[in-house]
Chains A and B, each alone.
Chain A
Amino acid sequence: MLERVVRLNADYARAIDDDRLEDWPGFFTEKCLYKITSADNHRRGLEAGVIYADTNGMLRDRVAALREANVYERQTYRHLVGLPALVGTQGEVTRAETPFLVVRIMRDGSMDIFATGRYLDALVDDGGALRLRERVVVCDSGRFDTLLAIPL
């Protein structure tokens, strides 16, 4: 299982960093939860996210909006995803916690650590493929520079 989670994370990070955002919803099950929040909100049980999607359709809408509607300066991410810790199983669901670091590269060449944190995942086997039923992105900091366009 560990190897499957590692492979999923590697593919997930490459899809985002290679600007294949259209592939990103495919890492999630149809009914899912994807949320970006901060460690502080998470600890206090405050539920809101800067991105909050509870269906795969909402993830696809996010990508469509980034492609067609939203305006932001050209930028890319480099994800460094750490090793997952498998923290439990409940029936068919595997729970994993994985640290990440994302460097944002702007069009003028400036590079900054944009976010660090951990993925709190609930993973299921979805017809032979391991998919995310839940990925709560808990950023260590609740401060985001300028804007958050591309998903973490």
Chain B
Amino acid sequence: MGEMTRAWPVDTLARVPFWVYQDEANYRAELRRIFEGPTWSYVCLESDVAKPGEFRTTFVGEMPVIVVRGQDGDVHAFENRCGHRGALIALDDAGSVKNAFQCVYHAWSYDLRGNLIGIAFEKGSNGRGGMPSDFCKADHGPRKLRTTTLCGLVFATLSPETPPIEDYLGAEILGRVRRVMDKPVQVLGRFTQGLPNNWKLYFENVKDTYHASLLHAFFGTFRITRLTQGGGVLVSPDGAHHASYTIGVPEDAKSAAYREQGIRSELDGFRLADARLLDSVDEFNDRIQLQILTVFPNLVIQQVQNSLAVRQILPKGVEAMELHWTYIGFAGDDAEMRQRRLRQANLVGPAGYVSMEDGCVGGFVQRGAAAASDELSVVNMGGEGTESMDTRATEASVRGFWKAYRRYMGY
């Protein structure tokens, strides 16, 4: 507890102090207690490490990690830090090795589980130098993480206490993950977005169902949101994870509504010149047009019509983060579906019609609250609770985030 200098100022989940986005000591504590604590961090897709020896490098919090498929077919993860002087072991984002990684600095080598297996000149040269004979290689590897896979997603944790992913998510959110990630995925592209804000401001933003139609004017301007007939938000019992969704109207009503919409919008002067952007298929057969799901602390799974993506949140200091977008489709997609996904990718990402604002709004909070560390942010829409609701005019899932956050942090 010694590392944190502040006490949480209020009991209610409906208020949040601004210092939580600004305080360096608090940030260090988050890395230890949340990212390196008993949570599952999303690290990559299973298909990124399909064959033995294939690896990806990424981060758990700020800890660099290597995720690699072992000869045994399991996915292993370990800190990307040489046990000797601490250099990065793997330098590429992705690649493939035979049986071992070798550090470039002094050529110490590691097997695919992260065990130190080789030390250059271990016995010295010409009988001089070398490592002491009692040096134990097993004690000097990088830290190992446990991994788990779910629907083609790979998660890692440093803690022995993190519960199985199914329990971690809870049945309801688990079902929502399975709904989207139900087939072998195919990567369509990857982009990184650097955001000028604390990681929590983005995670809250994704959970914030209240802002969607207010900040993102695209659907409203082009008269698209009114075609929805409802939606809601599911929050896991511990508050940590959420799924929000919007239900579309049935198919024939929809085409009629689109026609009407065309007329209305023409009068207003705003109408898409190429409406194929919105030509969607109900691929999950449940009329849910949009589902945004978070897994605490760093994953977003997004279905916006037929645009699918996983987003990985990486903290990069108190006031910066990176968002790693992986646009996906399914291996079985036909050419038409792939084309549709490529077109609808315009809705999301760093230039997304309904997501570019999320790239800057966290920075607006960061800058707006720069001098307000002891003031409180208001998270009161829909009351003070964190229960699931069949409306999106609520901040229940944001409060859920704070419920989980405070538990992990000990506030």
Contact = CB atoms under 8 A, between A and B. Distances in A.
B343 A41 contact: no
A147 interface: yes
Given A57-B274, A61-B274, A69-B218, A143 B189 contact: no
A47 B351 contact: no
Contacts of B193: 143-147
Interface in A6-63: 36-38, 40-41, 46-58, 60-62
Given A48-B342, A60-B273, A144 B350 contact: yes
Interface string A52-84: 111111101110110011111100000000000
Given A52-B345, A64-B270, A65-B221, A71 B191 contact: no
Interface stretch (B39-47, B118-126, B352-360): B352-360
Nearest to B272: A61
Interface in B21-78: none
A48 B276 CA distance: 17
Given A46-B189, A60-B273, A142-B192, A148 B350 contact: yes
A130 interface: no
B218 A146 contact: no
B346 interface: yes
Contact of B188 (A46, A73, A146): A46
Contacts of A60: 273-274
Per DSSP, chain B at the interface is: mixed
Contacts of A70: 217-218, 353, 356-357
A20 B353 CA distance: 20
Given A52-B343, A60-B273, A146-B196, A47 B356 contact: no
Interface range, B side = 35 or more
B187 interface: yes
Q: Which of B189, B195, B273, B359 is most buried by chain A, counting CB atoms within 10 A of its CB?
A: B189
Contacts of B216: 69
A103 interface: no
A48 B274 contact: no
A61 B360 contact: no
Q: Which of A38, A40, A61 is most buried by chain B, counting CB atoms within 10 A of its CB?
A: A61
Contacts of A51: 346, 351
Contacts of A40: 93, 190
A105 interface: no
A147 B26 CA distance: 27
A147 B356 contact: yes
A149 interface: yes
Interface string A126-152: 000000000000000011111111000
21 contacts: A37-B189, A41-B190, A46-B190, A47-B189, A48-B189, A48-B341, A48-B345, A50-B191, A58-B273, A58-B343, A61-B273, A61-B277, A65-B218, A68-B217, A69-B222, A69-B353, A71-B360, A72-B356, A143-B322, A144-B351, A146-B350
Interface of B: 93, 187-196, 215-218, 220-222, 270, 272-274, 276-277, 322, 327, 338-339, 341-343, 345-346, 349-351, 353, 356-357, 359-361, 363
Interface of A: 36-38, 40-41, 46-58, 60-62, 64-65, 68-73, 142-149
